[in-house]
A and B are shown apart, each in its own frame.
Chain A
Amino acid sequence: MYDDQWRVWKPYVSPWDPCPPILEKAYVVPPQLFLGFQPMNMPQFSLDEALYRGTLWPALYSPYPSRRSADVKGG
């Protein structure tokens, strides 16, 4: 559901790179870049869920999976 918050690009790979190349690099484009002035009456999380996620607004929620563990996107 939140996969559209990621952008992927492919850096140049040299035949002489010292380390195994990472073919694709990704960066986040979180929702505040696109929302503009927040419209009235947007859908809300339940209060428990909002306190857990850090925002009342699904439209502002941005998950970030750790690159350290085998974390699933959306956590």
Chain B
Amino acid sequence: MWIYEKKLQYPVRVSKCDPRMARYLIEQYGGADGELSAALRYLNQRYTIPDRVVGLLNDIGTEEFAHLEMIATMVYKLTKDATPEQLEAAGLGPHFVNHDKALFYQDASGNPWTATYIQAKGDPIADLYEDIAAEEKARATYQWLIDYTDDVDIQDALKFLREREVVHSQRFREAVEILKADREQKKIF
């Protein structure tokens, strides 16, 4: 069960009318290394991971949903007042004829989100290594997104999200160390 707090994890400001950027930000909404993939991956893996690290997957998976709504807010702000002509000029024509201004779980190239983006292998090390890789890939995506806008307010929120990927990667690496250490078994011997 979750308790919802009706505010964003970090304030999202958009100061430049730039629907083009919405098209690129969608990569982190419904792309392979996006926030939806991250949230669903961790919250699904947590059932079969050793219980010493369940709480970590639970917490990080929950935070990914907070990131998801930050990205959604950016996309919404960038497109809500755009004319069909502006959307078409930004390369969003195909999106517009299918969804109008509704958000859709797809990547920047328009590929719809698919469960094949995420894995649950059942092997704790394999799953945590996938999670570390996912965090590094999301960090890289944020870097390229920061490179693709000169709106300092969007850059500001994206830099926050990138730093969270750094912290999550660190915590997953620590989870691997916890499982390697095998502390409980040492007590038995």
Contact = CB atoms under 8 A, between A and B. Distances in A.
A68 B163 contact: no
Given A54-B159, A54-B160, A64-B159, A32 B173 contact: yes
A30 B139 contact: yes
Contacts of B161: 54
On chain A, which size bracket covers the interface? 20 to 34
Contact of B162 (A35, A51, A52, A64): A64
Interface of B is mostly: helix
Contacts of B163: 53-55, 60-62
* Residue with the greatest number of chain B CB neighbours at <10 A, chosen from A35, A37, A54, A62: A54
A54 B10 contact: yes
Given A54-B10, A60-B166, A66 B150 contact: yes
A30 B149 CA distance: 22
B154 to A, nearest CB: 10
B157 to A, nearest CB: 10
Interface stretch (B46-54, B74-82, B107-115, B140-148): B140-148
Interface in B144-184: 146-150, 152, 155, 159-164, 166-167, 169-170, 173-174, 177
Given A30-B139, A53-B163, A54-B163, 7 more contacts: A32-B166, A32-B173, A35-B170, A64-B142, A64-B143, A64-B162, A71-B155
